[in-house]
């Protein structure tokens, strides 16, 4: 098949910051299909990193960059607010740009005669419509509705609660209406899938969990450094920022009281100002973007995932387990994963319990080795990108067949 991929940014390979989900699924699809990518570019640096990664070669036969939206006028912003639109919607505040994007996609589809459109993430759904007469699938990764509900539940300020509630109502409507345009809606966990199903009985949904690049993330015999605790991720992302602040302020002091030499390493790009300020705490290190996260994880005595908000399967967790790291995580961190407490990792949701379990792994090396080995075995058996790609390929073939094999455009 000839597939058009629409994405909000240059896909992240395993060597780049961010979720590698889109790239790895597309890499698996490209073994049997031709893929063309239409995307925005958040930075020239990201584009160069993608172009220079040997793993990216040949995945897309063509890459076209979309123009950035123009500045938003005052009237457009008011019209946007009147419609209680989501922050990423352009149809009200930038109608000219919105229609030009839809026209460009329509023109490209007619020129290239695509057999399928694959949309990555909810913000890109606005540029696709049924007038294209092409089967379409969307990968939400995480349910934005679920994430908004969790943020709202944690919010205490009534003004922010009102703003989040308004945002939640709009997101629920957008996700509930996806069945009008898309033949299949993908999520990366059954928890997210269930939320999407509850929004509308007209949605065809499927879960394809995240995977791991087993060649890139692998144990290499590096000795763990005593008392080194590591957390990774894009630190400008709200759930990761919250997790870093939570661990540094509420959990790490409890560990430090019993292990004075303990160090907490926050490894990842785009640290917010709040995350950057954590470096003032004795024993806390904030690296910012690093060329390779693997040395930090491999040298860790314990990997932690103290996430309290967000949704979907966490790539960082699977990558750490693929490197045989003993892990302590919140229950939310393993949504949708076949992992169990005291089997592949330790689970804790309260600060004292979390700290106690980290301390246990820092001192009980036999347990740490057992959990690390079990985690690696689980990832190898269930969470390779090859397996996920095979499931995705079967799903899009089923979508194409449901259209009775008729071409998108007839001559």
Give one DSSP letter per residue of 274-327, joined into a string. HHHHGGGSTTEEEEES-S-SHHHHHT-SEEEE---S--S--HHHHHHHHTT--E
State how beta strands 302-305 and 228-232 pair.
parallel
pLDDT higher than threshold 50 for residue 206? yes
Summarize pLDDT for 270-316 with one digit per residue, the tens.
Answer: 999 999 999 999 999 999 999 999 999 999 999 999 999 875 457 88
- State the pLDDT at residue 202: 84
CA distance 108 to 113: 8
Q: Is 113 helix (H, G, I), strand (E, B) or coil?
A: coil
**What is the per-residue pLDDT for 326?**
98
> In whole angstroms, what separates CA 331 from the centre of its chain?
18
Strand order in the sheet with 184-187: 62-65, 34-39, 2-7, 116-120, 136-139, 184-187, 205-207
The mean per-residue pLDDT over the stretch 335-350 comes to 93
Percent of the chain with pLDDT over 70: 97
Average pLDDT over residues 171-181: 94
Average pLDDT, the chain: 92
Q: What DSSP character marks residue 12?
A: P
Q: Is residue 410 pLDDT above 60, yes or no?
A: no
Nearest to 32 by CA among 384, 392, 408, 409: 392
Residue 178 φ then ψ, to 5°: -60, -30
Q: Which of 352, 319, 347, 353 is nearest to 333 (CA)?
A: 347
| 77-98 mean pLDDT | 93
Q: How does DSSP assign 218-270, residue by residue?
A: ----PPPPTTEEEEES-TTSHHHHHHHHHIIIIIHHHHHHH-TT-EEEEE-SS
Mean pLDDT of the 19-26 span: 94
Count CA within 13 A, CB hemisphere, residue 189: 22
For residue 381, how many other CB atoms are within 10 A of its CB?
Answer: 10
pLDDT at 336: 77
Q: Using 50, 70 and 90 to split pLDDT, how confident is the model at 408?
A: very low
Higher pLDDT, 17 or 108: 108
Give residue 409's pLDDT band: very low, low, confident or very high (50, 70, 90).
Answer: very low
Determine the Cα–Cα distance for residues 352 and 358; give it in Å rounded to an integer. 10
Q: Is the pLDDT confidence value at 225 over 80?
A: yes
Task: Note whether 305 and 333 are within 8 A (CB).
Answer: yes
**191: phi then psi, degrees, rounded to nearest 5:** -65, -50
pLDDT at 50 over 90: yes
Closest CA to 372 of 313, 293, 300: 300
Q: Which of 22-26, 108-112, 333-337 has the lowest mean pLDDT?
A: 333-337
Residue 406 has pLDDT above 90, yes or no: no
Q: Break the chain into its structural domains and give their ranges.
A: 2-211+385-402, 228-382
Q: For 76-86, what is the mean pLDDT?
A: 90
Q: Quickly list H helices, 30-140.
A: 44-52, 74-82, 95-112
State how far the Cα of 16 lies from the Cα of 143, in Å rounded to an integer.
23
Mean pLDDT value across residues 252-275: 97
Q: Which pLDDT value is given to residue 104? A: 95
Instruction: Give the pLDDT score at 404.
Output: 64
* 2-211+385-402 under CATH 3.40.30.10, yes or no: no
148: nearest Cα among 132, 163, 131, 129: 163
| Spatial separation of the C-alpha atoms in residues 253 and 281, rounded to whole Å | 10
Average pLDDT over residues 58-85: 93
Does the structure show a pLDDT above 70 at 219? Answer: yes
Q: Closest by alpha carbon to 213, among 396, 400, 53, 45?
A: 53
Q: Which pLDDT score, from 0 to 100, does residue 311 have?
A: 55
CA distance 147 to 145: 5
Q: Give the per-residue pLDDT at 128.
A: 95
Taking only Cα atoms into account, the Rg of the chain, rounded to an integer number of angstroms, comes to 22
Q: Which fold has domain 228-382?
A: Rossmann fold (3.40.50)
Which residues 6+ apart lie within 8 Å of 262 measured at CB?
A: 227, 229, 252, 255, 256, 283, 362
- At residue 63, the 3 state secondary structure works out as strand
| Residue 14 main-chain phi, psi, to 5 deg | -65, -20
Distance CA 393, CA 326 (A): 33
Confidence band for 162, pLDDT divided at 50, 70 and 90: confident
**Crossing angle of helices 144-154 and 190-199, rounded to 10°:** 100
DSSP 337: S
Domains 2-211+385-402 and 228-382 share a fold: yes
């Amino acid at each position: 098949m000839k597939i058009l991929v629409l994405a909000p940014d240059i896909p992240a390979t395993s060597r780049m910051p961010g979720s590698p989900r889109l790239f790895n699924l597309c890499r698996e699809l490209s073994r049997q299909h031709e893929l063309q990518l239409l995307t925005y570019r958040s930075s020239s640096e990201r584009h160069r990193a993608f172009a220079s990664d040997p793993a990216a070669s040949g995945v897309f036969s063509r890459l076209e960059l979309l123009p950035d939206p123009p500045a938003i006028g005052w009237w457009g912003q008011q019209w946007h607010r009147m419609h209680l639109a989501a922050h990423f919607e352009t149809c009200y505040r930038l109608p000219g740009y919105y229609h030009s994007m839809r026209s460009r996609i329509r023109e490209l589809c007619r020129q290239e005669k695509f057999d399928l459109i694959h949309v990555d993430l909810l913000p890109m759904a606005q540029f696709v419509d049924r007038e294209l007469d092409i089967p379409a699938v969307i990968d939400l990764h995480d349910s934005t509705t679920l994430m908004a509900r969790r943020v709202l539940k944690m919010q205490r300020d009534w003004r922010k609660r009102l703003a989040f509630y308004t945002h939640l109502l709009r997101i629920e409507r957008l996700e509930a209406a996806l069945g009008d345009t898309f033949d299949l809606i993908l999520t990366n966990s059954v928890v997210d899938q269930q939320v999407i199903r509850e929004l509308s009985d007209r949605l065809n949904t499927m879960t394809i969990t995240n995977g791991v690049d087993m060649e890139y993330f692998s144990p290499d015999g590096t000795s763990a450094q005593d008392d080194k605790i590591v957390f990774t991720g894009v630190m400008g992302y709200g759930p990761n920022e919250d997790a870093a602040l939570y661990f540094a302020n509420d959990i790490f002091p409890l560990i430090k009281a019993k292990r004075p030499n303990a160090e907490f390493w926050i490894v990842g790009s785009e640290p917010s100002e709040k995350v950057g300020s954590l470096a003032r705490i004795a024993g806390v290190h904030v690296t910012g973007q690093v060329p390779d996260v693997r040395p930090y994880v491999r040298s860790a005595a314990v990997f932690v995932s103290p996430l309290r908000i967000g949704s979907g399967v966490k790539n960082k967790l699977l990558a750490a387990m693929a490197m045989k790291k003993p892990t302590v995580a919140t229950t939310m961190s393993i949504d949708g994963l076949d992992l169990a407490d005291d089997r592949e990792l330790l689970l804790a949701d309260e600060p004292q319990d979390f700290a106690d379990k980290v301390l246990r792994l820092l001192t009980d090396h036999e347990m740490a080795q057992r959990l690390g080995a079990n985690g690696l075995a689980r990832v190898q058996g269930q969470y390779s990108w090859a397996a996920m790609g095979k499931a995705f390929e079967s799903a899009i073939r089923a979508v194409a067949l449901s259209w009775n094999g008729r071409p998108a455009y007839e001559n």
